[in-house]
Structure 1
């Protein structure tokens, strides 16, 4: 018990006020301590970089500089990659599609390129760029795909891009209803990536003079405006779960091997050193297309077009 001398009210009150202040000040300190104890660190989502990944090709693939048909992508890289049906091989597509009865068979020749495995966590993001270039049309529908694959099971986890040749400049080139035509019910049946931030994907008719198209460069199956590049399309994907994955990009001929198609691809940090064994196409100024070769390719294309035009008539 504290004894206070007479006439010491002010001293007593000061002491009591001080004690009350100290007592009250403990409340937020305790609350702060409890909140700190309850806080659990969370993993931060990150942007996955595949710039240092190594890539292996099956069929015709390479690196190329931008030109007047397929410009450099928004990444700012000096070069980007491509896969083409010209010079392709058989059995590269993971997709089994319905046979619409217009070709001699289903998928024929094509090419793909595959990355090595990399790790990602849930909610990590991946951004890729694609540009689909076709000289073919519907009925013999060339198509392209990009997918994310579980490296442990080889199961397709997500479709990142699809495209298909068309008979109309305003046709559905991307995504092209490719996944709606699947026969394999074990594969995802819709795109999992967001294309062009959800905006409309158009078709940029700008000719087909492009080296990866081989003998089809400079021609179109109907000599009209149904061929050309789509322009660069951004594919953005958010990982649903942690795991080990690899990427695969490819393009395939359908029904025959005429009128080739190619898929250009790019991503941040793409480096030539990581693409072992693929063709490096020099800048456009150093590789003029020989006049004789160009005329021959046009002639071959016209013959194919004349033999197939009636089969395409009326197909949109």
Structure 2
């Protein structure tokens, strides 16, 4: 059971004013992680330099542009003495090479790792490979000398912090399904997984959603997720763009639907009280 909390304590998690979305791609379509290249890439018909995300050095040049899929890449950065793969090499439009900042490339790769891990990595047969790539990313992080760590996307705690906080919670991320067909979800720590579901069973959530006038339990979970995100970031619900929530947590709902859901608790105080409790801030004080 979740603990009740006063509206005075938690009401600041809700706001009605929207703000602008920040850009996710610092160089637009002129730079892209090789693993992200597809038919819509802007790097298919221009000379492309593949760069190390640590020092920014160009390690090879595709004079006629990248293929629409880069299935394999294994080239070393001689300056960093690190082998680069598709998931840690950045293709850059050669015309823009002189303005590329290595620190920005580092951020791009680390953000890609986060997004990929959080959405759940699988092979072509749908078999999970998240743990495998977690180890690969950790090894590459050490080789580059970065301080990147695997974190829960919601509470932002590292695996080390999660293991320290609770033996029951543990340090692994669990895949939370938004949908089974198509398979879509997000990897969360066990505590966040439980919190967004009111620490109860799916059947109970479905009944609660129907009683409260929502379509399904996922509507309730999205609202709880947004409230916990607000508690972690200090940005009240409504000030964080719905598109950012959809992208970060791989939501099935559209941004418009997310805005509608969050608007329901912004305008209805009685409904809002049903979603607010002290579990929303659990573990946040230990956030690393």
**Which interval holds the TM-score relative to the shorter structure?**
under 0.3
TM-score, length basis structure 1: 0.24
Structure with greater strand share of residues: 1
* Larger proportion of helix: 2
Greater RCO between the two (CA within 8 Å, min separation 6)? 1
Larger Rg: 1
Please, what TM-score do these two structures have when normalized by structure 2? Answer: 0.26
